[in-house]
């Protein structure tokens, strides 16, 4: 491999690695968002159950 070829390979590799790093960062971000979404879904489920329990208790008291 000549010196010119090495420099060309280095330049193209730099661009390729940068795009790859960017995609890894976006992947990590997506994973975080997925985790947060699961937490929020759990939070919404607990809240609905709590509201359901309150509604049942109120119905029993009235009855």
Partner 1 sequence: MSTWLRNNAGPATAVLASTLICASIALIFFWVPEDADQGFSQKIFYFHVPLAITSYACFGWGALKAFVHLWKRSPEADLQSYVAIHLGVIFGALTLITGSIWAKASWGVWWTWSSQQLVLFLVLFLFYSAYFMLRFSVDPGPARANLSAVYALFGVVLIPVSFLAIRLAEDFIHPTVFTSAGPQMAGSMFFTFCVSLAAMIALAAALYRLELTGKRLDATMRRLREALE
The pair of structure tokens assigned to 43 is 């939070």
Q: Is 33 in the site for partner 1 (CB under 8 A)?
A: yes
Q: Where are the beta strands (DSSP E) in the chain?
A: none
Residues ≥6 apart with Cβ < 8 Å to 9: 1
Contact residue for partner 1 among 20, 24, 38, 40 (CB under 8 A): 40
Phi, psi for 2 (deg, rounded to 5): -75, 170
Question: Does 19 interact with partner 1 (rule: CB under 8 A)?
Answer: yes
Q: Point out which residues bind partner 1 (CB under 8 A).
A: 2-5, 7-8, 10-12, 14-15, 18-19, 22, 26, 29-30, 33, 36-37, 40, 43-44, 47
């Amino acid at each position: 491999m000549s010196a010119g070829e090495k420099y060309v390979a280095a330049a193209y590799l730099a661009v390729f690695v940068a795009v790859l790093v960017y995609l890894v960062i976006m992947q990590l971000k997506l994973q975080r968002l997925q985790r947060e979404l699961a937490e929020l879904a759990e939070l919404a489920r607990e809240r609905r159950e709590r509201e359901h329990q309150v509604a049942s208790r109120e119905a029993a008291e009235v009855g």
